[in-house]
Amino acid sequence: MNLEEMQQMKQIEEMKKQVLSKMLSREAFERLGRIRAANPDLAGQVELYLLQLYQTGKINFKIDDEKMKEMLRALSQKKDFKIKRG
């Protein structure tokens, strides 16, 4: 990755952070930050979902901490896979 690509990535991250800070309450934004530290994949899924809602105009309110918890629960539920050996 060259310097220009790194700067572009940093700029995208800043824009994403600005949009998310507008969409989320302070508590929800902080929770997302803690999730990002503990589980970057889950945080990425939540961010992608929120940004899609924002881009399509399907969200017109601030997301509070309770709504963030609901999203995290929904996105973190994993399906159980059973492997049968014969």
pTM beyond 0.85: the answer is no
The pLDDT value recorded for residue 74 is 87
- The pLDDT of residue 72: 87
Q: Is the pLDDT of residue 14 over 60?
A: yes
Question: Pick from 78, 77, 20, 74: which is nearest to 52 by CA?
Answer: 20
For 27, half-sphere exposure in the C-beta direction (CA atoms, 13 angstrom radius) is 8
- pLDDT tier, 7 (very low <50, low <70, confident <90, very high otherwise): very high
d(CA 40, CA 47): 10
Domain residue spans of the chain? 24-69
